[in-house]
Amino acid sequence: MACELRATLSGYIRRRVPIVFKLETNHSKVMASIVVVDDRDASIQYNGNWGTGGIYPEYENTTFSSTQNGDTATFAFTGTWVSVYGTTGWTSTNGVPTTQFTVDGGSPVSFTAPNVTGWPLYHYQMFASDALNDTTHTLVIENTSPSCPCTAWLDFIEYMPSQPSTASKSASSSSSPSPSAASPSGTTNHRSTVALAAGIGGGLGGAALLITLALLFFYYRNYRRERHQRLQLADEMAARGYQPISTQYQTSEFSSTSAGRLRTTIERVPR
């Protein structure tokens, strides 16, 4: 199982950024989000002489502080990774605190705060575990500072919770129908073929009918328009006293590239 962590550092404040872990197993890849637990959350059990405080930009504007060697904070969680963040003070005048972190009673990991001469560092990562088995774990934080006026500040804890199971679907939902409930493949294919052919035939027949009706409509409309124009022209000529008396070809207008044009001679009929 592998994991990736990304973080940034800006000025005197170590700013938290979204942390994305990529868990890889032989069968799946899972992208997981991080759960943030504030120092005042009831899931953290404090033993010793811890004090409370906090200012902006500390997470939720709160912190827990310890000035005595042996003070502990215990956090139980179910997941695959855990990290602890705190604040480092003016260690040039108050001394350098040290903190020890232990997961499930394993080998302790010590953290010594950096020697800060200017502004304190906020959201400072003091501890980050390796990838853990997906089960319940116990983290113990202990102040191991020597006798000095130094203070260890705990701000918040982050951990990656357990991921949903990626097991395959149950046999009842993924199994095939029983032979008694399944239709014979030959009958099913035959019915599908007949239905497909019927659908195609019906579609083609409907399209042909629509095309035929459209052609008949356009033909009838053109016929009515031409008939109306002829009747209108005849009425107009009759009203003006004109009638055709002869039809002949005008041979003078024939050429090698054009056909003869028909000319109709119109004469006025005396009234």
The SS3 of residue 21 is strand
The pLDDT of residue 62: 96
DSSP assignment of 40-78 equals T-TTEEEESSEEEE--TTSGGG-EEEE-STT-EEEEEEE
Higher pLDDT, 138 or 250: 138
pLDDT in tens, 193-213: 555 666 677 778 888 888 888
Instruction: Calculate what percentage of the chain has a pLDDT beyond 90.
Output: 36
CB 111 within 8 A of CB 127: yes
The pLDDT of residue 214: 82
Q: Please tell me the distance from the alpha carbon of residue 102 to that of residue 142, in angstroms, as a whole number.
A: 9
The pLDDT of residue 198: 67
Q: With a cut of 80, say whether residue 99 has pLDDT above it.
A: yes
Is the pTM value of this prediction over 0.75? no
CA 162, distance to chain mean position in Å, is 23
The pLDDT of residue 88: 87
pLDDT in tens, 55-67: 999 999 999 999 8
Task: Specify burial of residue 157 (Cβ count, 10 A radius: 0-12, 13-18, 19+).
Answer: buried
User: Of 6-20, 73-87, 184-198, which has the strongest mean pLDDT?
Assistant: 73-87
| Strand partners of residue 73 | 46, 141
The pLDDT of residue 19: 47
For 145, the token pair is 């500072």
Higher pLDDT, 67 or 178: 67
CB 139 within 8 A of CB 75: yes
Q: Please tell me the distance from the alpha carbon of residue 158 to that of residue 156, in angstroms, as a whole number.
A: 7
Domains of the chain from N-terminus onward: 21-161 (2.60.120.260), 190-268 (no CATH)
